[in-house]
A and B are shown apart, each in its own frame.
Chain A
């Protein structure tokens, strides 16, 4: 379906990054504790008695719905994501900590994101300590990961075929207004191409929870997402 560019990309990805299939353990908890103090503790507390501050308490985060700490006033976007079913897991937290606005466009968390993958792994290992443990509660969230959901740089670098994007966009404008207004469904015009690509992949990988958008994204190839990003970027 994606034609020769898709084929090429598959080949490139296969040559570049063949990840081991085995589960990968999280990072170092004590390094994570240091990172938490430096990056998060201005706004968040964690631990049995932690309270809400500028941000909600992060105790018991894994397996919890987003936006669900009682007594904390979340942004509309975070509340919407929680209602849609976004749950905090290794994958969703990884995405949020890496780039909060890519996962939740309108989040009020004013944090630029932690770009270093190893540092994120350490931080997640520390956060994971303060949630349910599988040996006590078997259905609790995993504590190691299967695969790395990171977007490969090659995916972001694909140059979108704008004409193809225009054709594909017709499927989107059944719900999203072409003129960028929001009457109940968010605007998708004039996004930086990279953010658009990341958001679509977040639906495709089911990091973002919405069933309609997961379905829409799931059959889009990398080239097609790039084509859509190229088209919508200059619509107004």
Chain B
């Protein structure tokens, strides 16, 4: 199976059409079911509908009626965006002829090609697309489980958790302590926790300038580290303390009942505690049996089709693809490559070479934006990074401001690309 697929993609257009005769489902049109209406899944549904012009029967299953982007949710914490600006509905996708079902998929039977929903409905597919994002790894942070999320929020799936975290920060006493337990690799949005630290610092600097921020980090190094550390020094001197793995950052424990954090055997009382646990693919991927021991779903680098089952495709954070960071940008890019390949497979349309890229902006302080980006290409083993860039320390204020303004343009662009 692997060999055929590889040569089929690798040799491109001419043989693609020969090997894959268009396939027809029971109702005449091939049925594609997409689970998860986030950056990956909604993009996929939209591009399939846009480019197949009615040739596919597309159903999008999404647990929530409104999607709240994690991207820019840190800017909401910092006071740079209002919450509503992070929210996007699915009406434009429905208008394109996509059947949008608000429900949770609870089981996948790959042999029968069917998906069961919590509401009892079952859906038959010719191709299944899984883009469920992440779930948290059980026991990742000793003392914390999902049932503690109202006391120690993760705010790493945007929505009520994001609102809660902000309310808790605002309720901190003067001179209080904000703690973050940063996640181990791999996790969604590598600069995300550090952008959040910056935004929390910005918020506290205005309303609670004697407050302290404790960043407890299991990792030696992190994305854009030099840029963040320079920015923290400049904008928030003395406010942020990072405890890395050398000082117990990798074995921290939390006690939600008493609002304590235990590092290196020493218990500290904190006023707000943001626990970002270790992560795995959204649960439905494991239930579908397409994940491996790592907890993520391995995919073919040229197409994003599962390595386990070539009728299933896995996009975005849930996939194990190689060098691309788990980001909204990556999920969106992967979906467009996947949509082109899947459409070619089902309808015989032209299959073009995979193109992947990513750019992640972070805001450190007002008008102080930085970015990191790379382009990627598929090799037989993985999606591999081929070129990259990153903002430099010591850049002047005008460039940092331009970078921030660019990120606003990106947000408008990508959300239009995902949701129409």
Contacts and interface: CB of A to CB of B under 8 A. Distances in A.
A99 interface: no
A184 B375 contact: no
Given A84-B402, A174-B410, A212 B340 contact: no
A219 B387 contact: yes
Contacts of A215: 357, 373-375, 387-389
B386 A184 contact: no
Interface residues of A, number: 32
Contact of B357 (A1, A83, A171): A171
B373 A174 contact: no
Given A212-B373, A219-B386, A219-B387, A185 B357 contact: no
A5 to B, nearest CB: 12
A83 B355 contact: no
B5 interface: no
A173 interface: yes
Contacts of A235: none
Given A83-B398, A212-B371, A216-B375, A173 B413 contact: yes
Nearest to A185: B409
A170 B336 contact: yes
A192 interface: no
A53 to B, nearest CB: 25
Contact of A183 (B340, B386, B409, B417): B409
Nearest to B375: A215
B416 interface: yes
Contacts of A83: 396, 398-399, 402
A214 B389 CA distance: 10
Contacts of A212: 359, 371, 373, 389, 406
A211 B375 CA distance: 12
A85 to B, nearest CB: 8
Interface string A177-199: 11101111100000000000000
A177 B413 contact: yes
B139 to A, nearest CB: 36
Interface stretch (A24-32, A41-49, A90-98, A160-168): A160-168
B412 A178 contact: no
Contacts of A1: 353
Given A178-B416, A219-B387, A183 B373 contact: no
Nearest to A67: B398
B407 interface: yes
A177 B412 contact: yes
The residue among A1, A168, A212 with the most chain B CB atoms within 10 A of its own CB is A212
Nearest to A182: B409
A133 interface: no
A181 B415 CA distance: 14
Contacts of A147: none
A205 interface: no
A218 interface: yes
A13 interface: no
Contacts of B408: 183-184
A80 interface: yes
A50 interface: no
A54 interface: no
A219 B377 CA distance: 10
B352 interface: yes
Interface in B302-353: 329, 332-333, 336, 340, 350, 352-353
Contacts of B406: 175, 184-185, 212
B47 interface: yes
Contact of A174 (B352, B353, B398, B414): B414
Interface of B: 12, 47, 329, 332-333, 336, 340, 350, 352-353, 355, 357, 359, 371, 373-375, 377, 386-389, 396, 398-399, 402, 405-410, 412-414, 416-417
6 nearest CB pairs, A to B: A184-B409, A185-B409, A211-B389, A170-B336, A183-B412, A184-B408
Given A177-B413, A219-B377, 18 more contacts: A80-B402, A84-B402, A85-B399, A164-B352, A170-B336, A171-B355, A173-B413, A174-B410, A174-B413, A174-B417, A178-B417, A183-B408, A183-B412, A184-B412, A185-B410, A212-B371, A212-B389, A215-B373
30 contacts: A1-B353, A83-B396, A83-B399, A84-B399, A84-B402, A163-B350, A168-B352, A170-B417, A174-B332, A174-B333, A174-B413, A174-B417, A175-B409, A175-B410, A175-B414, A181-B412, A183-B413, A184-B405, A184-B408, A184-B412, A185-B413, A211-B373, A212-B389, A215-B373, A215-B374, A215-B375, A215-B389, A216-B375, A218-B387, A219-B386
Interface of A: 1, 3, 79-80, 83-85, 163-164, 167-168, 170-171, 173-179, 181-185, 211-212, 214-216, 218-219
